[in-house]
Structure 1
Amino acid sequence: MLCSLLKLVLLFPHFHESLNLTKKTNKRTTAVCHFWDSYMFSFCQYPFIISIAAKKVIIQRDSEQQMISMARQSLVDKVSRRLRPDMNMLFLNLKVRRMHLVSDSLDELTRKSADLKKKLKVTFVGEAGLDMGGLTKEWFLLLIRQIFHPDYGMFTYHKDSHCHWFSSYKCDNYSEFRLVGALMGLAVYNSITLDIRFPPCCYKKLLSPPIVPCDQNTPVGISDVSLDDLCHIMPELAHGLRELLSYEDNVEEDFYSTFQVFQEEFGVIKSYNLKPGGDKIPVSAQNRKEYVQLYVDFILNKSIYKQFAAFYYGFHSVCDSYALMLLRPEEVEILVCGSPELDMYALQRNTQYDGYLKTDLTIRYFWEVVLGFPLDLQKKLLHFTTGSDRVPVGGMADLNFKISKSETSTNWLPVAHTCFNQLCLPPYKSKKELKQKLIIGISNAEGFGLE
């Protein structure tokens, strides 16, 4: 298997090189190629007519080609140094400890930054598990859950809008924001959905610009923002600023504001001028539009510039593909997060069976129980069987969900192979027993066990 894979890695790029050689050596072929290059039509020239599912396929194919290219480069480097090639060099192998998940992940990704474009494989130290996709999904899930916890301080959760936003606290090292960006990039690159609740503005900033500029001094992540963008994060603040814009009485006397804002940082209130001398410039009916625009720009761009720039470079260190130019901000969000809308009836229609027929009593019991679950238990079932409670771009049909008959004792709990989106279900004798065992299984689904 290794020989076949190495052969594919070596030969794939030469297929394209042979086409280029044909163009150079055959004058007639070259003329024809120039003709078609001038008049060739491509749907990629008109991304607004391409569906998000088609764009996902384009990005996947581009990712696969980059993975092959990076693996081939590693192979050539090994051979040129007369070292024996092995399978591990074809992957981005991360070894992390559960108790030190963030620090280990940051160290591994920093140390192996040259391998980010290889296929990702994760190993939890001290656990006997081979990653065929399931451990990678769990690594993403646990890491995101820990980083976005309010006590961690990197992101602020806004209850009114149910989303996270970047903390404006100043620090000496923004490497962990780069880690979060790299996580999002790796998720897109490896076709994994994440449970991240960023506002739409975040994805607009992530594509500003869609390709990293050659000049490192060029600002990144700065986009045109408005009150609508702020409303998705801080609806109360946006409402207050709208009232200011529509206020008909004396703005200067009634609001008594200046071009200065205040933010709390580690219990200390700090002031920032929205423009030079802003603390001495009163807000009036004549300049209130400027005040609101500067306020929104400060909140969404300037106050978090270093944090977001690190996040931006982390994402594009993995996803530096021209295919991103096809995407709108809302499409990036769908690629990263998938869809939170669960259609369990669609999952039922697209489920495959191994050892069971869909008319078997156990299967009928299973779907009666699952379709009657509340939303939180349905999400737990999806996470238990696939490693994520989000629905991919193509819907439930893209999950390739399978229920297999387990020949073990009916005293056992259901078992899942998240690598293959497979549920192994014993033939329980009653609907009550199936429901009880299923709830216990899906409610205790963290970690990898091998008996």
Structure 2
Amino acid sequence: MLDVEDMDVDEEPSTPSITWLSALLSAILPLLTNALPRDQNEVCIIPHPHKMERQEAAEDTMHVHLGTSRWRPVFNTKKICDNCGTRITDRYYYHCSENCDIDFCQDCHARSRELLDAFMAEVDEANDENLSRRLFWVIDITERIGWHVLHLNVADRRRLAHELAFSWPTALFERLAQAAVDVVNARVVHVQDVKDIRSDERFWHAVGWLQFLYSTNELPCKTRRLEEQSSRGPKVDYERFVLDGINKCEPLSEFQRWRKHPSATVPKVLDVRRFRITNDFCSFLTHSNLVPVNFRRVCLLCDVWEQMQGRIVPLHLEVPREPQRLVHAVIERFCESLKDADLRQPLRVCFQDEEAGGPGVTKEFFQVALRSFLDASNNNERLFVYDEQSRTYWLNERAVGSEDFFRSYGILLGQAVLNHIHVPNIFPRALYDRLLEELESPCAKKLRLEDIGAVCPNTAKSLRQILEYTGQDIAEVFGDLAWPRGSHLPEDLRISQANKEDFVQAYVDWFFHGRIQAQMKPLSEGFKTILGGSSLLRTIVDAVQLEKIVCGRADNVDVDAIRSSAELEGWTEEDRSEYLPWLWEVLASVSQAEKAQFLVFVTASDRVPLKGWQSLGLIVQKNGVGDDRLPSAYTCFSQLLLPRFSTKEKLRNGLLL
């Protein structure tokens, strides 16, 4: 997709034009914001450029009647609606007058017409021609921006990214990203219907522009605030870049297109010297970081089902409801003499002495089983340990001799994906990196100190102190950390200023590998048994995407629930009645991404506590008066140190800085 030789180049000198480009983007942004109509799912749409003509199915295609209370004819039109993705069975449907491969069922055509008419009235356009000219101007400008940015030299591209990531307000950057997402969403279903998907290079420049913004969004991840033991999160939530319009596309067709270029990876548009549109680039799955989780799941399942060679026979599982007995029943079933091909079959579950079955029971089973394994013990040792500060579970290295437990849990994680069940987001992302590493995926990243911060903040804090210590007596102050070095470092090597970074990284390697290998190996083997045959999973899915495939989208932050249990310290009655309501109003008004950023700032985690947001235990302490002060936090205690600002707007700016 992007030539490797283009990655190893000297940076060209930057030019002053980047400041002007940033200003131009800011000036033109109001014209691109909310500039396209949206469907009932809030996904932007545009009308097909050609007239859609009403078609009538031939009488000889009517082959069956359906219905109970009222029968109706069903026609075999051999057409699929390009909006809802369902087979067209009505007598009448709509087809492009220029014979493009575009068809709408009656309901989608009528609904699209209603949406366009409503939008036309909203923006005060007189007719379809004027509306079309307006919409395609927005698309044209966005695609031109993409072409220009992608053809900047490397230094200017990086400088623009840094400007957007660190100088632009979060809300403004979020609007810029949303404007790009809107254009690509509106165009994507039209592009897939073109036989030569690469031919529309303007569209792919818009996708490249969105990838540029995605990479820009990740730059803050490489920075860390004072007192934070893990890296800062992205500027806005990754979900803001997801192209929900791809859900209207055909997953099997896209999977088959991707298989022609399986080595393609997400493009590094900040680093490549000469950007070029290639066959590798022109596949939606190549841009897997932008693909909706449900679409990725279906494509992954297409891959897994292909490995089954069409043989799908449900795996029956009967379990008791009592948690401890349920765990042992699952282990007994999964670890009996079943072949891997049998374990890969979708589950059909029932509870003992109950007749009910079906998808609802399967979903209930996964909820009960996953929770039961988290609480389970073997040989008086819990399988997983819970960290209150990060609100995550991790493998317990003391749970030895529990291989069947961990292998069964890995099978459950894989089976959850196979059965379209989302797992609670209870593990740090490092677990998904380790699963990918065991799959020998090139997308598995090397785990570092900040990843320990998401597992055990106290350990990360101690290691950070080593790196920040400048005295020559570092070995006497910190000792040898008391860990079995094995092949990581010589046993007799003492820590020093010269080797402290290698020393800490070696400890991190041991923390994520040797320390938990007895637990991680069977868990990953169970997971690989179900999904390890997927070439898509092994090549283009990174830890962020795998986490979303397994867990779905993150829970929205509930400000009212957090407020209900918050403790207020040092505030007068006047502060409580007149000032603090501003805090809750500001938090309620910001985006979910900004709410998550606030939580990371105050608590070092954006995950929902086990007992819900009301159990977060936020402490809001008064910290002086004055607009020259800034909020700070003690993440260990979920304590926000908040100054009293003179206006609500200054409070908002202070919180979102």
TM-score interval (norm. to shorter) = 0.5 to 0.7
Alpha-carbon separation, structure 2, partners of 1:221 and 1:157: 27
Show the counterpart of 1:14. Answer: none
User: Which of 330, 334, 358 is the aligned partner of 2:548?
Assistant: 334
Q: Secondary structure at the match of 1:148?
A: helix
User: Which of 315, 318, 329 is the aligned partner of 1:92?
Assistant: 315
In the TM superposition, residue 121 of structure 1 has moved relative to its aligned partner by 0.6
Q: Evaluate the alpha carbon distance shift between residue 282 and residue 187 of structure 1 in structure 2; reply closer, same or farther with a 3 A threshold.
A: same
Partner amino acid for 2:385? T
Show the counterpart of 2:467. Answer: 245
Alpha-carbon separation, structure 2, partners of 1:169 and 1:286: 33
Matches within 5 A, 1:29-428: 42-48=283-289, 50-65=291-306, 69-71=310-312, 90-99=313-322, 100-111=325-336, 112-113=338-339, 114-129=341-356, 131-149=357-375, 153-169=382-398, 171-210=400-439, 224-252=446-474, 254-258=476-480, 260-261=482-483, 272-273=484-485, 280-320=492-532, 321-324=534-537, 325-342=539-556
Alpha-carbon separation, structure 2, partners of 1:110 and 1:274: 32
In the TM superposition, residue 124 of structure 1 has moved relative to its aligned partner by 1.1
Q: Secondary structure at the match of 1:121?
A: strand
- TM-score, normalised via structure 2 length: 0.38
Instruction: Please report the RMSD computed on the Cα atoms of aligned residues, expressed in angstroms.
Output: 3.2
Alpha-carbon separation, structure 2, partners of 1:42 and 1:58: 13
Q: Secondary structure at the match of 1:339?
A: coil
Q: Secondary structure at the match of 1:207?
A: helix
Alpha-carbon separation, structure 2, partners of 1:140 and 1:327: 24
In the TM superposition, residue 299 of structure 1 has moved relative to its aligned partner by 1.1
In the TM superposition, residue 303 of structure 1 has moved relative to its aligned partner by 0.8
In the TM superposition, residue 332 of structure 1 has moved relative to its aligned partner by 1.0
In the TM superposition, residue 210 of structure 1 has moved relative to its aligned partner by 3.5
Percent of aligned pairs with the same residue? Answer: 25
Q: Evaluate the alpha carbon distance shift between residue 209 and residue 45 of structure 1 in structure 2; reply closer, same or farther with a 3 A threshold.
A: farther
Structure 1 contact 94–123 (Cα < 8 Å) conserved? yes
In the TM superposition, residue 291 of structure 1 has moved relative to its aligned partner by 1.6
Partner amino acid for 2:314? F
Q: Evaluate the alpha carbon distance shift between residue 253 and residue 121 of structure 1 in structure 2; reply closer, same or farther with a 3 A threshold.
A: closer
Structure 2 residue runs without a partner (length 5+): 1-259, 262-278, 559-606, 608-657
Matches within 5 A, 1:420-439: none
Structure 1 contact 178–310 (Cα < 8 Å) conserved? yes
In the TM superposition, residue 206 of structure 1 has moved relative to its aligned partner by 0.8
Alpha-carbon separation, structure 2, partners of 1:225 and 1:140: 29
Alpha-carbon separation, structure 2, partners of 1:195 and 1:147: 13
Structure 1 contact 67–119 (Cα < 8 Å) conserved? no
Structure 1 contact 207–221 (Cα < 8 Å) conserved? yes
In the TM superposition, residue 156 of structure 1 has moved relative to its aligned partner by 0.8
Structure 1 contact 230–238 (Cα < 8 Å) conserved? yes
Partner amino acid for 1:135? V
In the TM superposition, residue 279 of structure 1 has moved relative to its aligned partner by 5.7
In the TM superposition, residue 294 of structure 1 has moved relative to its aligned partner by 1.4
Alpha-carbon separation, structure 1, partners of 2:551 and 2:497: 42
In the TM superposition, residue 196 of structure 1 has moved relative to its aligned partner by 4.5
Structure 1 residue runs without a partner (length 5+): 1-36, 72-89, 213-219, 262-271, 345-389, 391-451
In the TM superposition, residue 151 of structure 1 has moved relative to its aligned partner by 5.2
Partner amino acid for 2:507? Y
Structure 2 contact 425–551 (Cα < 8 Å) conserved? yes
Aligned residues: 274
Q: Secondary structure at the match of 2:397?
A: coil
In the TM superposition, residue 68 of structure 1 has moved relative to its aligned partner by 6.7
In the TM superposition, residue 343 of structure 1 has moved relative to its aligned partner by 9.3
Partner amino acid for 1:290? D
Partner amino acid for 1:127? E
Q: Evaluate the alpha carbon distance shift between residue 287 and residue 275 of structure 1 in structure 2; reply closer, same or farther with a 3 A threshold.
A: farther
In the TM superposition, residue 311 of structure 1 has moved relative to its aligned partner by 0.8
Partner amino acid for 2:551? C
Alpha-carbon separation, structure 2, partners of 1:276 and 1:96: 44
Alpha-carbon separation, structure 1, partners of 2:439 and 2:489: 35
Q: Evaluate the alpha carbon distance shift between residue 156 and residue 230 of structure 1 in structure 2; reply closer, same or farther with a 3 A threshold.
A: same
Q: Secondary structure at the match of 1:122?
A: strand
Q: Considering Cα pairs closer than 8 Å and 6+ residues apart, tell me whether 1 or 2 has the greater RCO.
A: 1
Q: Evaluate the alpha carbon distance shift between residue 119 and residue 339 of structure 1 in structure 2; reply closer, same or farther with a 3 A threshold.
A: same
Partner amino acid for 1:93? H
In the TM superposition, residue 252 of structure 1 has moved relative to its aligned partner by 3.1
Structure 1 contact 259–283 (Cα < 8 Å) conserved? no
Q: Evaluate the alpha carbon distance shift between residue 279 and residue 193 of structure 1 in structure 2; reply closer, same or farther with a 3 A threshold.
A: same
In the TM superposition, residue 120 of structure 1 has moved relative to its aligned partner by 1.3
Q: Evaluate the alpha carbon distance shift between residue 256 and residue 198 of structure 1 in structure 2; reply closer, same or farther with a 3 A threshold.
A: closer
Structure 2 contact 383–399 (Cα < 8 Å) conserved? no
**Which string of whole-angstrom CA distances, capped at 9 and with x for unpartnered residues, describes residues 90-122 of structure 1?**
211111122310111111122344422222110
Structure 1 contact 259–274 (Cα < 8 Å) conserved? no
**Which string of whole-angstrom CA distances, capped at 9 and with x for unpartnered residues, describes residues 263-316 of structure 1?**
xxxxxxxxx245588664332212211221111111111111121111111001
Show the counterpart of 1:370. Answer: none
Which range moves more in the overlay, 298-307 or 47-56? Answer: 47-56
Q: Evaluate the alpha carbon distance shift between residue 54 and residue 253 of structure 1 in structure 2; reply closer, same or farther with a 3 A threshold.
A: closer
